[in-house]
Chain A
């Protein structure tokens, strides 16, 4: 057993990962710093004493929580112990079962066992049944049930859509065990005769019939209650969505509309505000994921938005495919931004198009306007933006930049950058 160093308060947990039955012994062993086998043997040795071993085991099962998931697992331990829960091993169970049967045999042969020991067994059976019902689900789900229906968590179980069949099987099995245990207890206390035992059985049957009758009578009421609770839950979800929408409208849209009213005489400002708001609403509606520092599509959207905001032009952006942003792709995005800025400043147009496409071996971007254009042979040398920020930047990262322009014919900057196999998504 590894020593438990870091924890200030050591709590006792069940350990279902190393379980033979439900993991009580494993958890206890870890807590006490003993070998698991020793703890298990102790439980078995306690069995013949009126079933104390079984009782103790069941009691611990009901009381002990499972270990919460460690938020910062030790990397080495995580590597050593794979996450999936191990199913219990039957072969490991055999020695303990043999030990238990052996001890029981010795005790009964020695004449030490008496009728009263059956009491302990019966109570243990009741405990197992109750435990089965209570442990129908993990703690998280129970908490969810409690939240759904604060004053009756068991109702939440029935409302839960998932694995209702397994739930029913375990519920009925648990209930059967409880009933069998109670019959056993009564049989122990009742006079030891065939007639007395029969009377107990028939009494239980009558009680059962009565219970079923009550359940049938209550069924419509309970069903209506379920329906109501489900409706309430749906309503709460809807309310949360509405609140989120209201917050967004309030923070952004109303603010933008107020600004548009105040600047209504300045058409450039109005257009810029409207475009900015449109972009942000579109992002909210259609593109909830992706950060500009990680993905090409988001990065292109971002440079388009920046240029729109700064220069009051419309930038129509279309991106096909997506890729991770590394140094090379980042250089392509920066060059595309420079091309957008040049177009916004010099072309004298209201709309610029940017198109980016991710192909298996390269990323390409095209920035195009239908504006003034220029004679590339005359302006190349004194236009640092084109030389350094676009062509130079692309070439430094192994890419290529072509500029196609003529006076009066508009401009298109064509950028291509080879990418590795892993960059495309």
Chain B
């Protein structure tokens, strides 16, 4: 994947929040060619104040940290700087962690094993207001929105996925990139992005039982 920016686009300002210094150093050196890493923080408190001061475009947020984890940073920052975008970055594959962060307002979720180029592309996508799903997150969402005859649908607009959204998620779960999904479904990349953003909105707003349950498992809402 090529760097999605030319001379005309300003370099994105990215902030790192992770309590592992080695991981921060690794990401900083990998991303240096693509974006400006304007700061990093290892605790929830320092992250909140530094993000308020720096006002970055995108925050790369670790899910698991002492003192409330990434969610505490998300909630505090959303009040002071609502236009800062968050991309969750985690080693956890537990549904309740991933779904919890997304419902708290993160625009996407990727695992820490992601390649530098893919991470840079994901940051760009989040900065543009689109959503980023890892294959596993796509799987969780398909699971959560599975059509079950015994689960009543309170709000069809929010509690169900359209067939097209389901197809896009399936391809994401199969490891397809957005470009490949567009080619497979004969639609534009922009349309793929719209579908994924719609799924993200449903994920954040819907009160489907599975989503509430996953969030409640970790006392996340």
Contacts and interface: CB of A to CB of B under 8 A. Distances in A.
B143 A320 contact: yes
Contact of A314 (B113, B143, B176): B113
A186 interface: no
A357 to B, nearest CB: 7
Nearest to A367: B174
Interface in B39-96: 93-94
A318 B135 contact: yes
Contacts of A355: 135, 139, 170, 173-175
Contact of A353 (B113, B143, B146, B175): B175
B94 A318 contact: no
A316 B175 contact: yes
Contacts of A368: 174-176
Contact of A320 (B93, B113, B142, B176): B142
A285 interface: yes
A286 interface: yes
Interface in A300-321: 314, 316, 318-321
B135 A353 contact: yes
Interface string B147-188: 000000000000000000000001001111000000000000
B138 interface: yes
Contacts of B146: 320-321
Contacts of A357: 142, 170, 173
A366 interface: yes
Interface in A317-347: 318-321
Given A355-B174, A368-B175, A318 B138 contact: yes
Contacts of B113: 314
A282 B113 CA distance: 14
Question: Which of A316, A320, A351, A368 has the most chain B CB within a 10 Å cutoff?
Answer: A320
B135 A316 contact: yes
A134 to B, nearest CB: 42
Contacts of B93: 282, 286
Interface residues on A, range: 10 to 19
B136 interface: yes
B94 A353 contact: no
A353 B139 contact: no
Nearest to B139: A318
Contacts of A282: 93
Give the size category of B's interface with A.
Answer: 10 to 19
B143 A321 contact: yes
A286 B176 CA distance: 25
Contacts of B173: 318, 320, 355, 357
B99 to A, nearest CB: 13
B111 to A, nearest CB: 9
Nearest to A316: B135
Nearest to A286: B94
Nearest to A352: B175
A314 B112 CA distance: 14
A282 B175 CA distance: 20
Nearest to A360: B147
Which residue of A321, A353, A355 has the most chain B CB atoms within 10 A of its CB atom?
A: A355
Nearest to B146: A321
Q: Determine which residue in A286, A318, A368, A412 has the highest number of CB atoms from chain B within 10 A of its CB, and name it.
A: A318
A360 to B, nearest CB: 8
Interface in B108-142: 113, 135-136, 138-139, 142
A319 B174 contact: no
Interface string A154-190: 0000000000000000000000000000000000000
Most buried by B among A286, A314, A351: A286
B139 A319 contact: yes
A320 B175 contact: no
Contact of B174 (A285, A314, A351, A366): A366
B82 to A, nearest CB: 32
Contacts of A412: 174
Contacts of B136: 316, 318
Interface string A261-291: 0000000000000000000001001100000
Contacts of B135: 316, 318, 353, 355
Contacts of A351: 175
Nearest to A370: B175
A368 B174 CA distance: 7
Contacts of A319: 139
A351 to B, nearest CB: 8
Contacts of A366: 174
A368 B181 CA distance: 13
Given A286-B93, A319-B139, A366-B174, 10 more contacts: A318-B135, A320-B143, A320-B146, A321-B143, A355-B135, A355-B139, A355-B173, A355-B175, A357-B170, A368-B175
5 contacts: A318-B136, A320-B173, A353-B135, A355-B139, A357-B142
Interface of A: 282, 285-286, 314, 316, 318-321, 351, 353, 355, 357, 366, 368, 412
List the 10 shortest-distance A-B pairs measured between CB atoms, nearest first: A353-B175, A318-B139, A355-B174, A320-B142, A366-B174, A318-B173, A355-B173, A318-B135, A320-B139, A368-B175
